[in-house]
Structure 1
Amino acid sequence: MNKVILIGRLTKDPELRYAAGSGTAVCRFTLAVSRQFKKDETDFINCIAFNKQGEAIAQYVTKGRQLAVTGSIRTGSYDGQDGIKRYTTDVIVESFEFIGNSNNGSVNSQNNDYWNMPTDNEFGVEEPIDDGDMPF
Protein backbone atom coordinates (compact mmCIF):
# COMPACT_ATOMS: atom_id res chain seq x y z
CA MET A 1 0.00 0.00 0.00
CA ASN A 2 1.31 3.44 -0.94
CA LYS A 3 -0.46 6.06 1.22
CA VAL A 4 0.89 9.31 2.63
CA ILE A 5 -0.69 11.79 5.04
CA LEU A 6 1.13 15.08 5.55
CA ILE A 7 0.40 18.19 7.56
CA GLY A 8 2.65 21.13 6.89
CA ARG A 9 3.01 24.68 5.70
CA LEU A 10 3.69 25.84 2.15
CA THR A 11 7.23 27.11 1.66
CA LYS A 12 6.18 29.43 -1.19
CA ASP A 13 3.11 30.14 -3.29
CA PRO A 14 1.99 27.14 -5.41
CA GLU A 15 2.99 27.05 -9.08
CA LEU A 16 0.11 26.32 -11.49
CA ARG A 17 0.73 25.32 -15.10
CA TYR A 18 -1.30 23.59 -17.78
CA ALA A 19 0.04 20.56 -19.63
CA ALA A 20 0.63 21.08 -23.34
CA GLY A 21 -1.87 19.26 -25.51
CA SER A 22 -4.25 18.02 -22.81
CA GLY A 23 -4.67 21.31 -20.91
CA THR A 24 -4.56 19.45 -17.58
CA ALA A 25 -3.93 21.73 -14.60
CA VAL A 26 -0.72 20.80 -12.76
CA CYS A 27 -0.03 22.49 -9.42
CA ARG A 28 3.36 22.03 -7.75
CA PHE A 29 4.10 23.07 -4.19
CA THR A 30 6.38 22.16 -1.30
CA LEU A 31 5.22 21.41 2.24
CA ALA A 32 7.49 22.00 5.22
CA VAL A 33 6.67 19.17 7.64
CA SER A 34 8.12 19.14 11.16
CA ARG A 35 9.41 15.84 12.45
CA GLN A 36 7.38 14.35 15.28
CA PHE A 37 10.09 13.86 17.89
CA LYS A 38 12.60 16.49 16.77
CA LYS A 39 10.65 19.71 16.37
CA ASP A 40 13.78 21.55 15.23
CA GLU A 41 14.07 19.28 12.15
CA THR A 42 11.91 19.81 9.09
CA ASP A 43 11.40 17.83 5.89
CA PHE A 44 10.52 19.61 2.65
CA ILE A 45 8.14 17.45 0.63
CA ASN A 46 7.41 18.15 -3.06
CA CYS A 47 3.73 17.70 -3.91
CA ILE A 48 1.77 17.71 -7.17
CA ALA A 49 -1.99 18.20 -7.53
CA PHE A 50 -3.89 17.84 -10.81
CA ASN A 51 -7.09 19.22 -12.36
CA LYS A 52 -9.63 20.96 -10.08
CA GLN A 53 -7.68 20.16 -6.92
CA GLY A 54 -4.59 21.81 -8.36
CA GLU A 55 -6.56 24.87 -9.43
CA ALA A 56 -8.17 25.17 -5.96
CA ILE A 57 -4.81 24.92 -4.19
CA ALA A 58 -3.27 27.50 -6.51
CA GLN A 59 -6.21 29.86 -6.00
CA TYR A 60 -6.73 29.61 -2.23
CA VAL A 61 -3.42 28.59 -0.67
CA THR A 62 -0.44 30.90 -0.23
CA LYS A 63 3.00 30.72 1.34
CA GLY A 64 2.87 29.86 5.04
CA ARG A 65 -0.66 28.45 4.95
CA GLN A 66 -1.15 25.12 6.69
CA LEU A 67 -2.46 22.26 4.57
CA ALA A 68 -3.24 18.59 5.19
CA VAL A 69 -2.58 16.35 2.19
CA THR A 70 -3.26 12.69 1.49
CA GLY A 71 -1.74 11.00 -1.51
CA SER A 72 0.85 8.54 -2.75
CA ILE A 73 4.60 8.66 -3.29
CA ARG A 74 5.88 8.61 -6.86
CA THR A 75 9.51 8.31 -7.85
CA GLY A 76 10.99 9.04 -11.23
CA SER A 77 14.14 10.03 -13.05
CA TYR A 78 15.27 12.18 -15.95
CA ASP A 79 18.51 13.15 -17.65
CA GLY A 80 19.59 16.68 -16.78
CA GLN A 81 20.95 19.15 -19.30
CA ASP A 82 24.43 18.25 -18.09
CA GLY A 83 23.84 14.58 -18.94
CA ILE A 84 23.62 13.44 -15.31
CA LYS A 85 20.65 11.29 -14.31
CA ARG A 86 18.46 12.99 -11.70
CA TYR A 87 16.00 11.24 -9.41
CA THR A 88 12.73 12.69 -8.13
CA THR A 89 10.34 11.87 -5.31
CA ASP A 90 6.93 13.57 -5.20
CA VAL A 91 3.64 13.13 -3.39
CA ILE A 92 0.71 12.94 -5.82
CA VAL A 93 -2.21 14.61 -4.05
CA GLU A 94 -5.41 12.59 -3.81
CA SER A 95 -7.19 14.92 -1.37
CA PHE A 96 -6.41 17.93 0.81
CA GLU A 97 -7.91 20.00 3.61
CA PHE A 98 -7.31 23.61 4.58
CA ILE A 99 -6.40 23.59 8.27
CA GLY A 100 -5.01 25.98 10.84
CA ASN A 101 -5.36 29.72 10.59
CA SER A 102 -6.56 31.29 7.38
CA ASN A 103 -5.22 34.59 6.12
CA ASN A 104 -7.84 36.50 8.10
CA GLY A 105 -6.79 34.82 11.36
CA SER A 106 -9.92 32.74 11.90
CA VAL A 107 -9.65 29.04 12.55
CA ASN A 108 -11.29 26.71 10.04
CA SER A 109 -13.16 24.60 12.60
CA GLN A 110 -14.84 22.33 10.05
CA ASN A 111 -11.52 20.94 8.89
CA ASN A 112 -10.13 20.76 12.42
CA ASP A 113 -13.12 18.60 13.37
CA TYR A 114 -12.42 16.36 10.39
CA TRP A 115 -8.81 15.83 11.44
CA ASN A 116 -9.78 15.78 15.15
CA MET A 117 -7.28 18.55 15.89
CA PRO A 118 -7.61 21.13 18.63
CA THR A 119 -8.82 24.48 17.37
CA ASP A 120 -6.13 26.36 19.28
CA ASN A 121 -3.41 24.76 17.10
CA GLU A 122 -1.60 23.01 19.96
CA PHE A 123 -0.25 20.24 17.78
CA GLY A 124 1.66 17.39 19.32
CA VAL A 125 -0.97 16.66 21.97
CA GLU A 126 -1.89 13.03 21.54
CA GLU A 127 -5.12 11.56 22.82
CA PRO A 128 -4.83 8.07 24.34
CA ILE A 129 -6.46 5.36 22.28
CA ASP A 130 -8.82 2.94 24.01
CA ASP A 131 -8.07 -0.62 22.84
CA GLY A 132 -11.83 -1.16 22.55
CA ASP A 133 -11.91 1.41 19.72
CA MET A 134 -9.44 -0.51 17.53
CA PRO A 135 -11.01 -2.09 14.42
CA PHE A 136 -8.97 -5.29 14.77
Structure 2
Amino acid sequence: MLNKIMMTGRITTDLTVVTEDNYSFCKFSIAVDQPKRIGIDTVETDTFTCIAFDDNAKSVNFLYSKGVQITFVGSLRKAPDNTVVIIVEELHFQNRFAVKVDVDSGQLF
Protein backbone atom coordinates (compact mmCIF):
# COMPACT_ATOMS: atom_id res chain seq x y z
CA MET A 1 0.00 0.00 0.00
CA LEU A 2 1.17 3.53 -0.76
CA ASN A 3 0.48 6.41 1.63
CA LYS A 4 2.41 9.47 0.37
CA ILE A 5 1.30 13.04 -0.10
CA MET A 6 3.18 16.13 -1.26
CA MET A 7 1.87 19.48 -0.04
CA THR A 8 2.76 23.11 -0.66
CA GLY A 9 1.00 25.74 1.39
CA ARG A 10 1.37 28.66 3.76
CA ILE A 11 1.84 28.06 7.48
CA THR A 12 -1.14 29.50 9.36
CA THR A 13 -0.07 28.93 12.98
CA ASP A 14 2.84 29.93 15.18
CA LEU A 15 5.53 27.25 15.37
CA THR A 16 6.81 25.75 18.61
CA VAL A 17 8.60 22.49 19.32
CA VAL A 18 7.15 20.45 22.19
CA THR A 19 9.23 17.77 23.89
CA GLU A 20 7.51 14.88 25.64
CA ASP A 21 9.25 11.77 26.94
CA ASN A 22 11.92 10.93 24.33
CA TYR A 23 10.56 12.73 21.27
CA SER A 24 9.93 16.24 19.99
CA PHE A 25 7.14 17.40 17.73
CA CYS A 26 5.86 20.54 16.05
CA LYS A 27 2.15 20.68 15.22
CA PHE A 28 1.06 23.32 12.71
CA SER A 29 -1.55 24.06 10.05
CA ILE A 30 -1.12 24.98 6.42
CA ALA A 31 -3.48 26.67 3.96
CA VAL A 32 -3.46 25.21 0.44
CA ASP A 33 -5.18 26.89 -2.49
CA GLN A 34 -7.45 24.70 -4.60
CA PRO A 35 -6.83 24.74 -8.36
CA LYS A 36 -8.45 27.65 -10.21
CA ARG A 37 -11.47 26.84 -12.30
CA ILE A 38 -12.39 28.44 -15.59
CA GLY A 39 -14.86 31.27 -15.12
CA ILE A 40 -14.43 31.50 -11.33
CA ASP A 41 -12.37 34.39 -10.01
CA THR A 42 -12.12 33.36 -6.37
CA VAL A 43 -9.85 30.58 -5.15
CA GLU A 44 -10.99 28.28 -2.35
CA THR A 45 -8.48 27.36 0.36
CA ASP A 46 -8.21 24.12 2.31
CA THR A 47 -6.55 23.92 5.74
CA PHE A 48 -4.62 20.85 6.87
CA THR A 49 -3.11 19.90 10.23
CA CYS A 50 0.49 18.69 10.07
CA ILE A 51 2.91 17.18 12.60
CA ALA A 52 6.68 17.00 12.25
CA PHE A 53 8.73 14.88 14.68
CA ASP A 54 12.28 15.06 16.06
CA ASP A 55 14.77 16.56 13.54
CA ASN A 56 11.98 17.54 11.14
CA ALA A 57 10.24 19.40 13.99
CA LYS A 58 13.44 21.30 14.82
CA SER A 59 14.00 22.11 11.15
CA VAL A 60 10.46 23.37 10.59
CA ASN A 61 10.68 25.55 13.71
CA PHE A 62 14.12 26.91 12.74
CA LEU A 63 13.61 27.50 9.01
CA TYR A 64 9.95 28.55 8.76
CA SER A 65 7.48 30.91 10.40
CA LYS A 66 3.81 31.81 10.20
CA GLY A 67 2.83 33.00 6.71
CA VAL A 68 5.79 31.37 4.97
CA GLN A 69 5.32 28.82 2.19
CA ILE A 70 6.42 25.24 2.96
CA THR A 71 6.72 22.15 0.76
CA PHE A 72 7.01 18.66 2.17
CA VAL A 73 6.31 14.99 1.58
CA GLY A 74 4.42 13.07 4.21
CA SER A 75 1.76 10.50 4.96
CA LEU A 76 -1.85 10.68 6.13
CA ARG A 77 -2.74 9.33 9.57
CA LYS A 78 -5.94 9.10 11.53
CA ALA A 79 -5.84 11.07 14.78
CA PRO A 80 -7.51 9.87 18.02
CA ASP A 81 -10.41 12.30 17.43
CA ASN A 82 -11.15 10.70 14.00
CA THR A 83 -9.64 13.60 12.05
CA VAL A 84 -6.75 13.26 9.62
CA VAL A 85 -3.28 14.70 10.16
CA ILE A 86 -0.31 14.80 7.81
CA ILE A 87 2.96 13.43 9.20
CA VAL A 88 5.89 15.40 7.73
CA GLU A 89 8.56 13.00 6.48
CA GLU A 90 10.70 15.09 4.10
CA LEU A 91 11.16 18.85 3.75
CA HIS A 92 11.69 20.22 0.24
CA PHE A 93 13.23 23.59 -0.51
CA GLN A 94 12.21 25.71 -3.48
CA ASN A 95 15.46 27.55 -3.99
CA ARG A 96 18.22 26.71 -6.45
CA PHE A 97 20.85 25.72 -3.93
CA ALA A 98 21.02 23.27 -1.07
CA VAL A 99 21.68 24.44 2.45
CA LYS A 100 22.52 22.19 5.34
CA VAL A 101 21.60 23.62 8.72
CA ASP A 102 22.67 22.38 12.13
CA VAL A 103 19.39 23.10 13.91
CA ASP A 104 20.95 22.83 17.38
CA SER A 105 23.59 25.54 16.77
CA GLY A 106 21.91 27.44 13.93
CA GLN A 107 25.06 27.14 11.83
CA LEU A 108 24.82 27.00 8.01
CA PHE A 109 27.08 24.72 5.95
TM-score where L is the length of structure 2: 0.76
5 Å-filtered alignment, 1:13-24, equals 13-19=14-20, 21-22=21-22, 24=23
After superposition, give the CA deviation of every residue in 1:40-68 in whole Å (9 maximum; x if it has no partner): 10111111001111011112210111110
Q: Which runs of 4+ in 1 moved over 3 A?
A: none
Structure 2: segments with no counterpart, 5+ residues:
99-109
**Aligned residue in 1 for 2:27:** 28
Structure 1: segments with no counterpart, 5+ residues:
78-85, 100-107, 112-136
Identity %: 31
Structure number with larger C-alpha Rg: 1
CA distance in 2, matches of 1:47, 1:76: 11
Supply the RMSD in Å over aligned alpha carbons. Answer: 1.7
Within the alignment, does 1:88 sit opposite 2:89 as a pair? no
Match of 1:65 among 61, 64, 68: 68
CA distance in 1, matches of 2:73, 2:87: 8
- Which structure ranks higher in relative contact order (CA pairs < 8 Å, sequence separation ≥ 6)? 2
After superposition, give the CA deviation of every residue in 1:64-93 in whole Å (9 maximum; x if it has no partner): 11110100000122xxxxxxxx32210001
Report the number of matched residues: 93
Maintained 8 Å contact 1:75/1:87: yes
More strand by percentage: 2
